[in-house]
Each structure stands twice: as C-alpha cells, then as structure tokens.
Chains A and B, each alone.
Chain A
Amino acid sequence: MSESESESESVSREVAQRVFAAEFNDASYTFKESDDDRAPVYLLLPTGERANRIFVVGTLTETEDVGEDNEYWRGRIVDPTGTFFVYAGQYQPDAASALRELEPPAYVAVVGKPRTYETDDGDINVSVRPESITEVDAATRDQWVVETADRTLDRIDAFDAAGNEYARMAGDEYGDAVAKYTETVVEGLESLETTDELDADVAADSDGDTADATDDDAEGDAVDTADPSPQP
C-alpha cells in the first residue's frame, strides 16, 4: 500500500449487536472485561451476549428537548416489540441535530452505545447514546427486523451450549427463561406481513403505544427525573 494515512486502529472496533427493544429494555447488568479505566463497558443481553454497541432501525415517534441549561434531546424509537429511548446532548452534536431536525414519524437507523442509569426508585433503566441517527426507508427497517430476529434466534439457540460464558452470566443475572424472546422474535416477524407502508406501520406502532400508555408514561417520568445522567 502506498497510502500512509491509513491510521492504525489497533483496538478492534466493537460489533453492533442486533437486539429488539423488548429484550434490550429487560437488560440492566453492565460489566467490563478488564480493570483498565478505558476498557469498554458491556451491557449483558438476557439471551447471553455482551453489547458495547447496538444498531437499531425503527420508527421515530417523538422527539423532545428535555435539557435544562443545554439542549438535551430525547427520541422514542419504536420497533415491533417495544420502544428504545435515545438521548443526545452536546457531546453527540450530530445525533442531537438529527433529533432536532427530524419530523416524526420517520424511519431512522441508529448506531449507539447502551447506557444504564438508576432511577430514584432504584430501578435500572437502559437507553441508547447515539453515535449517528439517519433517516432511512421502510425496506431498511424491514431488513433490520428480519436480521434482528435471526441474530436473536442464534443467541437463543446457543444459550445452552457448553462454554457460552455470556449465557451463563445472563442466567445468573436474569434467569434462563429465554424462550419468551422466541415469542418476541415471532411477534417482530409477523408484524412485517401486514406493514408494508409507513402509514399503516406508524398507525400500528402508535396503537401499540396507547395500549401500554400507562407503563410507558411511568417509565418516561423516571427517565425525565434521571436526566441528564447518561452524560459521559
């Protein structure tokens, strides 16, 4: 190679895990693999995988500036199984301006890091600190649902395999009832057959939201009071 500028990123990049909102929001346990201050922090997924980064495609249904002195944007991103909460402030300028400018409802792709924080009640909430948010089309959303279903099934399938240390860890932290995530997957896939159009899909998503509105509101309040804890 004659290109000298190829910077050597000797630390290998963390893969972006594919996980549905229903499973992601069940996660709460974080850990590091070493004592180094700069070692990556992983969120332990209930199906037995570590996630330092996730990739999500869903419907942005709501954006709100929840900051006090500085802008601090919260976005709700809905997939067929639940809602991801995304927070972006001054340290995520690109993602924050995306949330400021996007008009919900819109399909968005988010690359980001899982963040956990404890609410006043002592519950652990999990959210996403975005590296990027871009508007995408329905085909990309559909592919994400199928891919996430596939990856989730792979994790469920490998859960009982000998030597699967993250599955053992997940069993200890959350219990080993992973069969319910197979139902999550089926739910996700079945939603595709009827939702080809953005309109139909958003309608379906907001229906889902109204159905468990009380739950979500409680969660939303907890998140509000915890702001801006996910800041680095």
Chain B
Amino acid sequence: MSPIENTAEATTMTELRTHAAEIAEQFSDHVDVTEDEVESKLQQLVEEYQVPLDEATRSVRNSYLEEAGIERDEISQGGSDQVLVNEIDQDEQWVDLRVKLVDLWDPRSDSISQVGLLGDESGTIKFVAFKTSELEKLAEGQSYELSNVVTDEYEGTYSVKLNRTTTITEIDEEIEVGDNSETIEGALVDVQSGSGLIKRCPEDDCTRVLQNGRCAEHGEVDGEFDLRIKAVLDDGQTVQDVIFNREATEELTGIELEEAKQLAKDALDTTVVADEMRADILGRYYTVTGPTLGRYVLANEFEQHDGPADAERVLIKARSI
C-alpha cells in the first residue's frame, strides 16, 4: 500500500508525526535534532519523492546514524524501559538499569574493558563493557543508573552489554542486591549423569568435575571426592534443572560422603552411589528454593511433599466446568 493514497492521507500525517517523534527521541542523546526537523525530512521523502513511509523512516534514521557516527545496533529501537535484572528474558532488548556493581572479574579477552556482576533488589546479572565503547570505568560497590544497555542471551542465561550509547550516572543511593532466589515445585523425573559420588580437581580455584580422572584444565590430577545431584523437576508444564550440593545431597538422600565412598569401594564402582540415590528420590514431589545459576536452580532449601492439600479445590474446579 502506498502511504499517500486517497483518504489514508490524514492517517499518514499522524503516522509520520509518530515516526518523527520516535526518531527524534532515539537520537536526542547523540545529535542535535528536533522533531520538526525529522518530520520535514520524512515529509519530503514521502510526499515529493513518493517513498513509502517505512522506507523513508529507515532512510532518515540512517542519515542520523551516520551523522552521530554510531552503528545501527548501538541505537535503541524506541526508548528503553527501566527494568529489574531478573525481568530480563529476551535477547537484544534495550533497557535501563539501576544497579550496584557487585563484582569485577578478570577480562579474558583484550577487547573487553570490564566484565563482572551487576545487581539490584531482584538479583544479579553479568555485564560486559568493550574497549571500543570508550566508557568510563565502573567502580566496585558503587551504584549507578545505566541507560541504553543491550541484553544478550547465551544458552538460556542473560547478560547485558554496555555500548557507546550507554550513559552512566553515579547515584548516591545504596542499592540492596537480591539473590535471584526462585522457588519451584514438581516431581523429580530425572537424575542426570554427573550425579552421586564425583571427583573434583584439587587445584586452587578449580572445582571442575573430573572425567576419567582428568580435569579439562589441569589434566590428570588426584581428585577430591564430593557428592552432588543434578536432577530435573517437572510440574507437568515446565521442566527445571536443579543442583543439590554435597550438604543438600546428604540431607536429601540420607547418604553421607563417607558412606558413599564405602559403597563405591565395596562395589568397586562409583555409579552404585547414584543408583542408590535414584531409588530414594526419583518420582517424588519436592519444593526447592535457591538462587539460579545459568539454567540451574541451586537447592539451598527443599522439602519433600507429604501429600496433596488441595484435592477439595480441584474437585470444586471439576464441578464448575
């Protein structure tokens, strides 16, 4: 449809004004631009040159990008919303954050200026700032308002990237950082490989689980025994991976590390430990609470259900259908 056809003209004028406002808003931080100016550029393209409005908008936006010397993906598509870090659930969204810099990590690449953890009351999220963005450095423990950061996703885990258009404002307020804690319930439907009695690399700061006595980083090492369970909770609608650390595993299964080692020694096989644990926990219902780490919930607290409390509620629901 050509936007300047017949009776659609009035609508087109309104649309044109809307697009102009959006563009002006997007670029107001970067170049000197007014809504009127954008509108007259759009109008010229649409009315004199008969360019469809979409194409005209694209063209005008590009001309400002060039003027501002920034890349297309560095500019927000419409104003960004202020969000809490645990609300981030989409890739490539432009958002504003009010956060405290919780932790700085060592960058693993020369292109990275800073990498670490930002937090607000809802939890924490990883952030990356690249050298090319030429941003001021953030200080650990300081709270900031960050506007125009972009969300990123990797295997279900979200992070944010700072970029050239990000504005950083120090704030005096001390932001309380939450722990991303989540509570989930469901039937424990799977105990995955890597559960039971495992060996970890003894090197400093390396907790990798050994595969056939080898650490992926340090090669053949004399591992240290540990217990853990990687399980799946399923409530019939969603599945959630859960990790029980040694303490939680001992409490969940009643099998302690020393006993597990003895079981494995007697059987000349470490897998008997996981088998024993499977028999104790598979098919039961649990409520688990803990922080999220990647795609896992770490089971800090958990409880096995001892029966349904709401049979009556469901019966009422059945009779109301």
Q: Find chain A residues with CB under 8 A from B207 CB.
A: 2-3
Complex formed: what's the CA distance from A37 to B147 in Å?
Answer: 47
Interface of B is mostly: loop
A116 interface residue (CB < 8 Å to B): no
Whether B194 pairs with A5 at a CB distance below 8 angstroms is yes
Complex formed: what's the CA distance from A15 to B184 in Å?
Answer: 15
Of all chain A residues, which has the CB nearest B208? Answer: A4
Which of A21-29, A60-68, A150-158, A209-217 faces chain B?
A: A150-158
Whether A153 pairs with B234 at a CB distance below 8 angstroms is no
Whether A150 pairs with B314 at a CB distance below 8 angstroms is yes
Of all chain A residues, which has the CB nearest B210? Answer: A5
Whether A146 pairs with B236 at a CB distance below 8 angstroms is no
A8 interface neighbour in B155, B209, B308, Cβ under 8 Å: B155
The A/B interface has a contact count, at CB < 8 Å, of 126
B238 interface residue (CB < 8 Å to A): yes
Whether A10 pairs with B155 at a CB distance below 8 angstroms is yes
Interface string of A183-196 (1 = CB under 8 A from B): 00110011011000
A153 interface neighbour in B285, B294, B307, B314, Cβ under 8 Å: B314
Given contacts A17-B236, A134-B278, contact A189 B283 (CB under 8 A): no
Complex formed: what's the CA distance from A157 to B321 in Å?
Answer: 7
Of all chain A residues, which has the CB nearest B157? Answer: A1
Of all chain B residues, which has the CB nearest A135? Answer: B279
A225 interface residue (CB < 8 Å to B): no
Q: Find chain B residues with CB under 8 A from A132 CB.
A: 189-190, 278, 282-283
Q: How far is the CB of A171 from chain B (nearest CB, A)?
A: 17
Q: How many residues of B contact A (CB 8 A)?
A: 42
Q: Find chain B residues with CB under 8 A from A193 CB.
A: 311
Q: How far is the CB of B50 from chain A (nearest CB, A)?
A: 39
Q: How far is the CB of B123 from chain A (nearest CB, A)?
A: 15
Whether A147 pairs with B308 at a CB distance below 8 angstroms is yes
Interface string of B270-297 (1 = CB under 8 A from A): 0000000011001111000000011110
Whether B236 pairs with A136 at a CB distance below 8 angstroms is no
Q: Find chain A residues with CB under 8 A from B305 CB.
A: 139-140, 143
Whether B314 pairs with A55 at a CB distance below 8 angstroms is no
A44 interface residue (CB < 8 Å to B): no
Q: Find chain B residues with CB under 8 A from A156 CB.
A: 321
Which of A84-92, A106-114, A117-125, A197-205 faces chain B?
A: A106-114
Interface string of B195-225 (1 = CB under 8 A from A): 0000000000111110100001100000000
A18 interface residue (CB < 8 Å to B): yes
Whether A110 pairs with B283 at a CB distance below 8 angstroms is yes
Whether A153 pairs with B319 at a CB distance below 8 angstroms is no
Whether A143 pairs with B308 at a CB distance below 8 angstroms is yes
Complex formed: what's the CA distance from A93 to B97 in Å?
Answer: 52
Whether B194 pairs with A185 at a CB distance below 8 angstroms is no
Q: Find chain B residues with CB under 8 A from A7 CB.
A: 194
Whether A139 pairs with B278 at a CB distance below 8 angstroms is no
Q: Find chain B residues with CB under 8 A from A157 CB.
A: 321
B236 interface neighbour in A3, A4, A55, Cβ under 8 Å: A55
Q: Find chain A residues with CB under 8 A from B187 CB.
A: 16, 55, 109, 144
Whether A140 pairs with B189 at a CB distance below 8 angstroms is no
Whether B311 pairs with A186 at a CB distance below 8 angstroms is no
Residues facing B in A144-176 (CB within 8 A) are 144-151, 153, 156-157
Whether A4 pairs with B238 at a CB distance below 8 angstroms is no
Whether A2 pairs with B208 at a CB distance below 8 angstroms is yes
Given contacts A109-B282, A111-B190, A153-B321, contact A139 B209 (CB under 8 A): no
30 A-B contacts, Cβ less than 8 Å apart?
Answer: A2-B206, A2-B208, A3-B207, A3-B209, A5-B208, A8-B155, A14-B239, A15-B234, A55-B187, A94-B278, A109-B187, A110-B283, A132-B190, A134-B282, A140-B284, A140-B285, A140-B305, A145-B311, A146-B308, A148-B236, A149-B314, A150-B317, A153-B314, A156-B321, A185-B318, A186-B315, A186-B318, A189-B315, A189-B318, A192-B308
Question: Which 9 A-B pairs give the minimum distances between C-beta atoms?
Answer: A109-B283, A139-B307, A146-B308, A134-B282, A18-B236, A143-B308, A134-B283, A5-B209, A111-B189
Enumerate chain B interface residues (CB-CB to A < 8 A): 155, 187, 189-190, 194, 205-209, 211, 216-217, 232, 234-239, 278-279, 282-285, 293-296, 305-308, 310-311, 314-315, 317-319, 321
New contact pairs (9) apart from A2-B206, A5-B194, A12-B239, CB-CB < 8 Å: A5-B209, A6-B294, A53-B189, A109-B283, A131-B190, A142-B311, A148-B236, A153-B318, A189-B315
